[in-house]
């Protein structure tokens, strides 16, 4: 692949790319079955979209991958690691990052500071060295800042780097949320409705960034999104949930012609 200014930044220990395998996962809350015997496979380097009607179990599936929910049955393997029994705080060190549907940024902090928080898992120096900002601590800060500059360039947010996040327009905040997840330099990026609440132009921008992240940085992406036009344009493969069950997986063309999907999600018209 020809290198561009968006080529993945060099790191001594880059996050590995593993296959994500969801095996017969079932999740219930009391008497409500959120997921029932769901199996999915996401290959390294692909964009995999999870779609379905409201209440189909999409976010529950993402929460199981992140360890926020513990399914009663099944396994979720990322490489050799079973995420079902892995603490959520370990995910960044495994190379897994998530951008949430509801913005989870520190609104009183600048864009740059929020992005630098995404580098915490890569910090090698102790707290005292970092606070002194001298010698080794200073060199560490410069090294992490260099990576963040690549993220800023990729997402084209150079002109807002010093602004407080709370003062930004909603679309820009969503872009910063994406940037903080990307600052971890993940091998697997989980996106929960990254375009929710955006206008057509903002959606087009985010779709382009998602493609750049995948194509230029080689990051595997699992995406939940309601905009079917975007899903069909950017996804390599799609999994469809309906009432907590996976009713189909396939390429965008295969999904758009699947009778069960048309009936359950796309509508008969």
pLDDT at 269: 45
Strand, coil or helix: 208: helix
CA dist., res. 225 & res. 194, Å (int): 7
CA dist., res. 262 & res. 141, Å (int): 52
The stretches in the chain having pLDDT less than 50 are 1-5, 127-128, 131, 269
pLDDT at 10: 56
CA dist., res. 84 & res. 75, Å (int): 6
> 143 and 122 share a domain?
yes
Residue 138 lies in a domain: yes
pLDDT at 127: 45
pLDDT at 105: 78
Which range of residues forms the domain containing residue 48?
17-95+186-269
How many structural domains is the chain composed of? 2
Q: What is the tens place of the pLDDT at every residue in 147-164?
A: 889 999 999 999 998 999
Domain end call among 159, 185, 211: 185
> 53 and 114 share a domain?
no
Domain end call among 131, 154, 185: 185
Instruction: Write the CATH number for 221.
Output: 3.40.50.300
> 116 and 37 share a domain?
no
CA dist., res. 197 & res. 200, Å (int): 10
> 169 and 91 share a domain?
no
Domain end call among 185, 218, 239: 185
pLDDT at 4: 43
């Amino acid at each position: 692949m020809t290198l561009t200014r968006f080529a993945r930044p060099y790191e001594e220990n880059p996050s590995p790319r593993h296959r994500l395998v969801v095996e017969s996962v079932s999740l219930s809350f009391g008497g409500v079955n959120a997921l029932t015997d769901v199996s999915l496979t996401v290959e390294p380097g692909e964009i995999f979209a999870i779609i379905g009607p409201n209440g189909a179990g999409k976010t529950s599936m993402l929460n199981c991958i992140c360890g926020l929910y513990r399914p009663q049955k099944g396994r979720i393997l990322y490489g050799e690691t079973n995420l079902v029994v892995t603490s959520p705080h370990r995910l960044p060190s495994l190379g897994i990052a998530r951008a949430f549907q509801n913005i989870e940024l520190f609104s009183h902090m600048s864009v740059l500071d929020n992005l630098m928080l995404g580098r915490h898992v890569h910090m090698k120096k102790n707290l005292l060295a970092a606070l002194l900002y001298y010698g080794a601590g200073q060199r560490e800060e410069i090294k992490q800042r260099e990576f963040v500059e690549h993220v800023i360039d990729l997402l084209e947010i150079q002109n807002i780097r010093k602004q407080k996040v709370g003062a930004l327009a909603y679309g820009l905040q969503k872009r910063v949320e994406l940037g903080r997840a990307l600052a971890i330099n993940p091998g697997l990026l989980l996106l929960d409705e990254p375009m929710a609440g955006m206008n057509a132009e903002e959606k087009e921008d985010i779709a382009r960034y998602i493609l750049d992240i995948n194509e230029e940085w080689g990051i595997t992406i699992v995406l939940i999104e309601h905009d079917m036009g975007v899903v069909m344009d950017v996804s390599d493969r799609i999994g469809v949930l309906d009432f907590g069950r996976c009713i189909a997986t396939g390429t965008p063309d295969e999904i758009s012609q699947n009778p069960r999907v048309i009936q359950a999600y796309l509508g008969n018209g």
